[in-house]
Amino acid sequence: MTRPLRVGVLGASGYGGAGLLERLARHGGVELAAIGSRQYQGEGVEGAWPQFAGLFPGLRFQSNEDVLADSEVVFCATPHGATAPLVKQALDAGVAVVDLSADFRLPPETYATWYGLEHPHPELYPQARYGLVELHRNELRGARLIASPGCNATAASLALAPLAAAGLLGASAVADIVTGVSGAGRAPSQALHYTEVNENARPYKVAGSHRHTAEIEATVGRARAGGKDLTTHDPFRPYTVTFNPHLVPMSRGILATCTSQPVEAEGLSDASLLDTFRDYYAGDPLIVVQADLPQTKAAAGSDRAVLSVRYDARARTVVAFCAIDNLGKGAAGQAVQAFNVANGFDEAEGLTRGGMWP
């Protein structure tokens, strides 16, 4: 029997880190060997996460250096900008990386434009493979550096990719997203204070100012050019998308509503579009395409995406929907899914397909 891979988690005291602990703990092919946190260093897991009390006996938060020393693969749930040096350190030590930050999702020059930072290790970008499994599965096999996608980018890209591949997008598309507050992370701020968020819906970073726009445009552009399951690192070929996120008073969840007016709309119907989506995602174990419109609660607590699509004949507009859990398929679940593909495990090992209801 093959011994389990020793894995570590950096940034394990954040929401993404908690999701990784939960999934890796039930993964049959790994040993959760080490976890890192500067804030909780030296404490047991329950110091940051009371829900895990008693589940990880002997496991304590360590320094980043100690986690790297104890791991064969490390998941980085750490901030952009600060993660690239950790990735460099890990790769130099022979440790493979799944990076949940934005540091290797985009070409270095594009990263600099959207994140306002010169990339600290642009030489590593050619090694990175984008971790949206449904579109990059073949590229991910054997990958040593996985760039796990952003949560908003995941939902919008999954909704738009089948339309792009079928030639059913017009000159541009609009992606309107509602998202729960956990997507902003665990650090407190006035904008995320209960009294600011409760009974309130607020657009933010709209009209092309949100950083995930670049990821959506790159992924949809790839699908529009006909790429799916390629075996090489695909060039950056963006397609224009206006991305408008809205913060709503729920803890977790994303619902993307994406629209475009195709140049040629003859013969389109709800039924034909649903067939297009089902064909595109045939065999993808974490994708559900259904006639009913998706709801965030149907994906909450899970690692799946729930999609549907409609045709507005009056406006000649295609409307695609995608619901995910921003901490599941949008973060920890997606990272583990890509890790599974890279390392030859069953794609859904350690993951959850059913949502939480109520």
Percent of the chain with pLDDT over 90: 78
> CA 289, 294, 296: angle at the middle one, nearest 5?
125
Distance CA 140, CA 233 (A): 10
Q: Are 170 and 357 in contact (CB under 8 A)?
A: no
Tens-place pLDDT, residues 166-178: 999 999 999 999 9
pLDDT tens per residue across span 275-298: 999 999 999 999 999 999 999 999
Asked which of 46-60, 123-137, 188-202, 256-270 is least confident by mean pLDDT, the reply is: 188-202
Residue type, 221: G
pLDDT in tens, 207-260: 878 889 999 999 999 888 876 665 445 555 789 999 999 999 988 999 999 999
CATH topology of domain 5-149+330-343: Rossmann fold (3.40.50)
Contact (Cβ atoms closer than 8 angstroms) between residue 33 and residue 344: no
Amino acid identity, position 257:
T
Tokens of 229: 């399951």
CATH node for 151-326:
3.30.360.10
> How do the domains of the chain map onto residue ranges?
5-149+330-343, 151-326
Q: Which residues are catalytic?
A: 151
The β-bridge relationship of strands 173-179 and 145-147 is unpaired
Q: Which residue has the higher pLDDT, 233 or 60?
A: 60
Q: Considering the entire predicted model, what is its pTM?
A: 0.94
The pLDDT > 70 percentage for the chain reads 96
Q: Which of 219, 221, 217 lies closest to 243 in space, CA to CA?
A: 217
Cα radius of gyration rounded to whole Å, the chain: 20
